[in-house]
Structure 1
Amino acid sequence: MSALTIEKIHKSYGVVETLKGIDIALESGEFLVLLGSSGCGKSTLLNIIAGLAEPTSGEILVGDRSIVGVHPKDRDIAMVFQSYALYPNLSVRRNIGFGLEMRKVPTRERERAVDETAKMLQIEPLLDRKPGQLSGGQRQRVAIGRAIVRKPKIFLFDEPLSNLDAKLRMELRTELKRLHQMMKTTIVYVTHDQIEAMTLATRIAVMRNGQVEQLDTPEAIYNKPATLYVASFVGAPPINLLHGRWTSTGVKLNGTDVTLALPRPAGNDEEDVTLGIRAESFRTHSGNVALDVTVDVAELTGPELIVTCRLGQEQKIVATLSPQAKVELGALLPLVVDTDHVHLFSPTTGKRIN
């Protein structure tokens, strides 16, 4: 039995259809990330699970129990918001334990639960402070603690790290991963940050225009993207999309004399094809096929050198190379690509060609 089942969920506001039939089943202990750009419907879906909105049609089950129409407080679900939503006049201790207090949990049991949660989140010294005396990262830990202390069946996170600076985001991301490994609770997490999705999730649902483009593990999402949208949305730097045409010897890249020796998949009758090549799939030492590109920009990040180049007159390529690589701006650079790491897509449908 799945811990959370989402079946054919539709949501419309008048004539505008925000969700167009979402189907997801989560096993107990999974960490699902809803990933997508603004307006794709991920927060709407989260709000429907929480009970803050109701679906136009469809079913949501927690275990074998339908929760459509059930009041949010009776769903056994805890939600962490982007804006912390702490009570400014209450101490950290009372903020964490407020939900238990409202449920008439005995004082001793409530204090024990708050102390255990504070220890888990490493905020024990902050229990007697008010939210106004805390940093952004500390406030978000308190908000997470308020959800954890209830020990719900499912946790919902709505972009909880987006208000934090880069260093704090990394620290709290690690804390969330550690907490999930400790508690093994089912989590649904909304973000537009692909790094958060890749590092936290056991599965990712990439959403676009109210639909799930691909639901799979982070490894499969990255290494076998189902559509052009998924391929271009996940990955930093973004995947290189090159355009070409099938010939008897492979794919001839538009605007160049280069032909990549790729076997044409059986049943594929389109003349044009889009190639996806990750930035890290290029190398500069010798190989069978080299793309002679012109270097426009070289950016050293520390562990890698990101090189932006031009291939012919029409196509741009971004490659990540060793920081020791020697490149000259405006000079020709031979980039070798491993054809085993080339992704093929239909330019008509946008779907992966296997």
Structure 2
Amino acid sequence: MSALEIQNIRKSYGEVDTLKGIDISLESGEFLVLLGSSGCGKSTLLNIIAGLAEATSGDIRIGDRSVLGVHPKDRDIAMVFQSYALYPNLSVHRNIGFGLEMRKVPAAERDKAVREAAKLLQIESLLERKPSALSGGQRQRVAIGRALVRKPEVFLFDEPLSNLDAKLRMEMRTELKRLHQMLKTTVVYVTHDQIEAMTLATRIAVMRDGRIEQLGTPDEIYNRPATLHVATFVGAPPMNLLNATAEAGSLRIDGTSIALPMPAASTGIRQGQELVIGIRPEALHLDGEGQLEAVCEVTELTGPELIVTVHVGSQRLMASLPASCGLAVGDVLRLGLGCGVHVFDRGSGLRCG
């Protein structure tokens, strides 16, 4: 039995369709990330699961029951918001246990649950403080603790790390991963940050314009993107895209005489078809006999690597090279291709094969 079943969910505001038929089935213990840019419908879908918004049509099932029309407090879910939403006049202990207090849970049982959650989150020493005396990361831990004590069937997270600085985001990602591995609770997590999605998820649903572009594991999303949108949305630096035309057994890069061999997995391509070649920056390497002759335009040292922007004919691409390679603007270089050339139809944006 699925822990969470989302069946053909649609949401419309008048003539505007926000969600256009979402189908997802989650087994118990999965960590699903809804990934997409602002306005794609991911938070709307999360609010429908939580009961904070109503679907126009479709069904949401948690365990063996439909929860459409069920009050949020009776859905066996717990939600962590982008804002911490803590009560400023209450201690950390009472903030974590407030939901249990409202449910008339006995004080001893409530105290035990709060202290167990605080131990998991490593905030036992903060229980008597007020939220004003906490850092941003500590406040977010308190908000997560308030959800933990509910022991829900499904956890919902709505961009919970977006208010934190880069260092705290990394620390909290690790904490969330650790908690999920320990608790093995089903999680639905909304973010626009592809690093969060790749590091946390067991499955990722990449959303665009109210639809799911691709649903798969992080490995599938990264290494076999189904569309051009997925290919460019996931990855930092993003995937390079080069316009090309299919010739007999090869891919000729437009505006050049360079012809790359056709990948074996790219089936159903006809001669003369207009295509887009996708190449990850890390798949490129310096090679004196490489297939791509390029001119260096910009170099960006990140520390462990040098991100080099070059042009091949009239088209630009980026390569992730060793920091010690010593390239300068204007240098002519040759780039070899590692594995992982992706081919997409230029018109539809769909992966070939």
Per the TM superposition, whether the score is higher than 0.5 is yes
SS in structure 2 opposite 1:177? Answer: helix
Supply the distance in 1 between the matched residues of 2:268 and 2:333 (Cα, whole angstroms): 36
- CA offset at residue 268 of structure 1? 2.4
* Preserved CA contact (<8 Å) 2:268 2:352: no
- CA offset at residue 263 of structure 1? 5.3
Supply the distance in 2 between the matched residues of 1:320 and 1:145 (Cα, whole angstroms): 40
TM-score (norm 2): 0.98
AA matched with 2:232: S
Supply the distance in 1 between the matched residues of 2:246 and 2:4 (Cα, whole angstroms): 45
Supply the distance in 1 between the matched residues of 2:233 and 2:263 (Cα, whole angstroms): 26
- CA offset at residue 290 of structure 1? 2.1
Partner in structure 1 of residue 11 of structure 2:
11
List aligned pairs for 1:319-334, cutoff 5 A: 319-334=319-334
Supply the distance in 2 between the matched residues of 1:179 and 1:286 (Cα, whole angstroms): 48
Supply the distance in 2 between the matched residues of 1:111 and 1:93 (Cα, whole angstroms): 8
> How many residues in Structure 1 have an aligned counterpart in Structure 2?
351
Comparing 291-300 and 197-206, the one that deviates more: 291-300
Partner in structure 2 of residue 283 of structure 1:
285
SS in structure 1 opposite 2:110? Answer: helix
Supply the distance in 2 between the matched residues of 1:166 and 1:64 (Cα, whole angstroms): 40
Supply the distance in 2 between the matched residues of 1:266 and 1:92 (Cα, whole angstroms): 58
Long gaps (5+) in structure 1:
none
* Preserved CA contact (<8 Å) 2:49 2:60: yes
List aligned pairs for 1:39-188, cutoff 5 A: 39-188=39-188
Supply the distance in 2 between the matched residues of 1:249 and 1:186 (Cα, whole angstroms): 46
AA matched with 1:161: L
List aligned pairs for 1:185-204, cutoff 5 A: 185-204=185-204
TM-score (norm 1): 0.97
SS in structure 2 opposite 1:350? Answer: coil
- CA offset at residue 325 of structure 1? 1.2
Partner in structure 1 of residue 304 of structure 2:
303
- CA offset at residue 286 of structure 1? 4.3
Comparing 35-44 and 241-250, the one that deviates more: 241-250
Supply the distance in 1 between the matched residues of 2:268 and 2:130 (Cα, whole angstroms): 65
* Preserved CA contact (<8 Å) 2:263 2:341: no
* Preserved CA contact (<8 Å) 2:246 2:269: no
Partner in structure 2 of residue 345 of structure 1:
344
- Alpha-carbon RMSD: 1.1
Supply the distance in 1 between the matched residues of 2:31 and 2:249 (Cα, whole angstroms): 44
**Runs of at least 4 residues of structure 1 off by over 2 A?**
263-270
Comparing 83-92 and 268-277, the one that deviates more: 268-277
Supply the distance in 2 between the matched residues of 1:79 and 1:284 (Cα, whole angstroms): 48
* Preserved CA contact (<8 Å) 2:278 2:342: yes
Supply the distance in 1 between the matched residues of 2:5 and 2:64 (Cα, whole angstroms): 9
Percentage of matched positions with identical amino acids? 67
Task: Name which of 267, 271, 274 aligns with 2:276.
Answer: 274
Supply the distance in 1 between the matched residues of 2:85 and 2:14 (Cα, whole angstroms): 30
Comparing 241-250 and 257-266, the one that deviates more: 257-266
1:115-164 deviation line (CA, Å, top 9, x unaligned): 11111101111111111111111100000000001100100000000000
Comparing 86-95 and 329-338, the one that deviates more: 329-338
Partner in structure 2 of residue 29 of structure 1:
29
Q: Do the aligned partners of residues 153 and 177 (structure 1) sit closer, same or farther apart at CA in structure 2, a change above 3 Å counting?
A: same
Supply the distance in 2 between the matched residues of 1:271 and 1:108 (Cα, whole angstroms): 71
AA matched with 1:118: A
* Preserved CA contact (<8 Å) 1:295 1:332: yes
- CA offset at residue 248 of structure 1? 2.0
List aligned pairs for 1:219-234, cutoff 5 A: 219-234=219-234
* Preserved CA contact (<8 Å) 1:3 1:28: yes
- CA offset at residue 249 of structure 1? 4.5
SS in structure 2 opposite 1:256? Answer: coil
* Preserved CA contact (<8 Å) 1:241 1:274: yes
Comparing 302-311 and 68-77, the one that deviates more: 302-311
Partner in structure 1 of residue 218 of structure 2:
218
Long gaps (5+) in structure 2:
none
